[in-house]
Structure 1
Amino acid sequence: MSTPLATTAEPLRRTTRRRGSVDRRDRWVGVAMVTPQVLGALAFVIAPLVTVVRYSLHEWNVLSGSFVFAGADNYDRMLADPGLRESLLASLYFSLGLVVLNVSLALLLAVLLNQKLPGTTTFRTFFFSPVVVSLVAWTIVWSFLLQDDGGINGFLAGLGVDGPNWLRGEGTAMLAVIVVQVFKNVGLNMILFLAALQSVPEEVQEAARIDGAGAWRRFRAITLPLISPTILLVSILTIVGSLEVFAQIAVLTGGGPGNSTTVLVYYLYQQAFRFNDFGYASAISVLLFVIVLVLTLIQWQTRKRWVFDEV
């Protein structure tokens, strides 16, 4: 009786050892694949963030070479800084205008492209090409077009309209910057929306059409809920991008007229590289990080109320 048991147990032990060896090898392969990403995050995300927080607790002037611990003085200074309040308002106006115009225009263009009309390939290329153009080159071209004697006012003059000085009027400078940024990135969001629209099941649309639902009813009750994950993604990317805008402000308006287009990132740049106050600039950087983090978390936590496929 002992011989059959021993014969059966030996292959079982060999199979268990082989399975354990495969599991260990899989674990090491997983560790090897994850390690570069972890090291990259530590080197380029966590370490700089910790360093910025450390700098924000110091008074650091590069010209004088001083680096003195100041505790929470830089954060107390932010509470009483009128320039920071103005930059936060400018960032709010820019973000609201950009998100509303960019997302709505991108969705409208995607819906038009999804109709399979003649010339859609040319239409798609026309709106996507600015995405791959250099941001600085794109902005410089628009800075010439938006001058008082630039191409846009020249076109309006041909129609008998006296155009404003777009980049020097407090009522038009922010609008001009928003429009330039919308045309720069709307093509990317358009492609994301188009991919989402093309993934909507045609049989669902056909069933609603047979039941008598009109085009608007089908779009509101079927299409929008099914592409809501993409709407969430595009909204997060657009909001985060709007809070990081810098090159457009620097090239087009330089933060003016007055401080009407001095957004938070540009105000941070001024504090660091014009006034050499790197400690205070670091505190503003921490504030910007907190704002982006809070807005992203709010969007993510509220997704279950309006994202269709969330459980």
Structure 2
Amino acid sequence: MLTAALFLTPALCVLSIFVLYPIVSAGYISLTAWNGFDPVKEFIGFGNYVRLAQDPEFWNSLLVTVLYAAGVCVLSVVTGLTVALLLDAPLRGRGIYRGIYFLPAVTSSVAAAIVWRYMLDPSGFVNALLAQVGIDGPDWLQDRWLALGALTLLTVWKNIGFNAVLYLTAMQALPHGIYEAAQLDGASARQRLRFLTIPLLSPMTFFVVVQALITSFQAFDLVYVLTEGGPRGGTDVLGMFMYRTAFRLGDFGYGTAIAFVTLLLVLGVTLVQWRVSGSGKDSR
């Protein structure tokens, strides 16, 4: 017991200093009215949370975040599985293709968002391509729904390599015997994909969905560079709303309450994953 305590103490100290203390501190700050500089934090109880429930900006940000997360989840599964299936095929130079698809995952988010912003400019690359076929391209980032769609596609593109690697890892662990048996029984490639591959990959699909949900609720850097939450709050996700409230308006108590609600939402999603995947059940 003493030996275990000695080995666990350093990790517990790091966990307490860099994880537990910030969470507890943020929870207390969310119960105060504080501008970030005043040494005295005025305790107001649950006043920030009551204000949050009555704030239309918060509900708009929550709705935008939910729509954004839904789009990212669906497209992450579809694109990740599709790319994984293509990269799992016997192709020449398969390793090179895998590296190319993984490049967006290791590219700086700020750099990627800047490039996409220039591409979606009214005189940018996308509208120039549309003009070649006689289509007058819109101002993508000045329309509420087009901007949200562009942000969703950017997020999916940024993570497509990571999701493909997850699916590839899961596919390589699938039992080959059942595929051979299905092929001997006359099952086509489409039938093997529909009735074997997709069901067997369901645990990984669930993980990809939860990962995409958490990423969407924590989104900030891509949103800040691409749209800054505009136009008219159309891409004002919770991370952007929290940043603007705390660091631009100086209302750290209210901003921390937004962050704490976001944390609770992310924890709720993680708990759902834990319960549905069976990790929370007794293994006996």
TM-score for the superposition, normalised by structure 1: 0.85
CA distance, structure 1, for counterparts of residue 10 and residue 101 of structure 2: 36
CA offsets 1:176-214 (integer angstroms, 9 cap, x no match): 111111111110110110111112122210011112222
Counterpart for residue 114 of structure 1: 88
Q: Does 2:256 align with 1:290?
A: no
Alignment of 1:145-160 (within 5 A): 145-160=119-134
1:233 to 203, 207, 221: 207
CA offsets 1:231-270 (integer angstroms, 9 cap, x no match): 2222222111111110111111111110110001100011
CA distance, structure 2, for counterparts of residue 274 and residue 188 of structure 1: 33
Identity of aligned residues (%): 38
User: Structure 1, unaligned stretches of length 5 or more?
Assistant: 1-23, 305-309
Letter of the 1:246 partner, please give it: F
2:154 to 180, 186, 209: 180
C-alpha deviation, 1:222, in angstroms? 2.2
CA distance, structure 2, for counterparts of residue 277 and residue 225 of structure 1: 48
CA distance, structure 2, for counterparts of residue 275 and residue 65 of structure 1: 18
CA distance, structure 1, for counterparts of residue 139 and residue 76 of structure 2: 24
Counterpart for residue 264 of structure 1: 238
Q: Does 2:248 align with 1:274?
A: yes
Alignment of 1:1-311 (within 5 A): 28=3, 30-62=4-36, 67-304=41-278
CA distance, structure 1, for counterparts of residue 108 and residue 228 of structure 2: 19
8 A Cα contact 1:59 1:66, kept in partner = no
TM-score for the superposition, normalised by structure 2: 0.93
C-alpha deviation, 1:64, in angstroms? 6.2
8 A Cα contact 1:103 1:186, kept in partner = no
Q: Indicate the RMSD between aligned Cα atoms, in angstroms.
A: 1.8
CA distance, structure 2, for counterparts of residue 222 and residue 109 of structure 1: 18
Letter of the 1:184 partner, please give it: K
8 A Cα contact 2:76 2:209, kept in partner = no
* Alpha-carbon spacing, 1:218–1:36, altered in 2? closer, same or farther (3 Å): farther
SS at match of 2:91: coil
CA distance, structure 1, for counterparts of residue 10 and residue 191 of structure 2: 49
Q: What number of residue pairs does the alignment pair up?
A: 280
CA offsets 1:44-99 (integer angstroms, 9 cap, x no match): 11100000000011110236665211011111101110000000001011100111
CA distance, structure 1, for counterparts of residue 39 and residue 148 of structure 2: 37
User: Structure 2, unaligned stretches of length 5 or more?
Assistant: none
C-alpha deviation, 1:39, in angstroms? 1.8
C-alpha deviation, 1:32, in angstroms? 4.2
SS at match of 1:137: helix
4+ aligned runs moved over 6 Å, structure 1: none
